């Protein structure tokens, strides 16, 4: 998967969005930004899948990877009840959700 992001174009689109009230064509600036956001979101989802696959290859009990700038982890939670993760195999999958999250530490 090749990802190309033109930061200058994104900055220009953001600046041009002020004209949305003046010209119907300016609506395209917002639409282009939303498309770029969707592409980035898809790339992040793909990266999460790749990270999960590779981490599970290294360790089937993978739960977290932490570095100075990035943290990748599984987090399990229920809507009303807490879950004893040691008994997770006995809980119906409809009662909980596993969230995959990647965060960057901003310094």
The beta strand positions in 23-85, using DSSP E, are 64-66, 70-77
Count CB neighbours of 47 within 10 A: 14
pLDDT in tens, 16-53: 777 766 677 777 777 888 888 888 888 888 888 888 88
Count CB neighbours of 29 within 10 A: 19
Residue corresponding to tokens 């809507």: 79
Q: Residue 101 forms beta bridges with which residues?
A: 73
Pairing of strands 64-66, 70-77: antiparallel
Which residue in 73, 79, 82, 80 sits closest to 101, CA to CA? 73
pLDDT in tens, 46-100: 888 888 888 888 888 877 878 888 787 776 555 556 667 787 788 787 777 777 6
Which residue in 106, 102, 107 sits closest to 66, CA to CA? 102
């Amino acid at each position: 998967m090749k990802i190309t992001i033109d930061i200058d174009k994104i900055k220009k689109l953001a600046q041009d969005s002020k004209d949305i009230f003046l010209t119907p064509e300016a609506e395209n600036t917002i639409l282009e930004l939303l498309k770029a956001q969707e592409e980035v979101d898809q790339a992040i989802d793909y990266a999460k899948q790749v990270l999960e696959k590779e981490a599970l290859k290294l360790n089937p009990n993978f739960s977290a990877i932490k570095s100075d700038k990035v943290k990748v982890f599984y987090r399990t939670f229920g809507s009303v009840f807490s879950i004893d993760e040691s008994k997770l195999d006995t809980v119906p999958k409809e009662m909980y959700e596993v969230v995959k999250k990647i965060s960057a530490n901003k310094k």
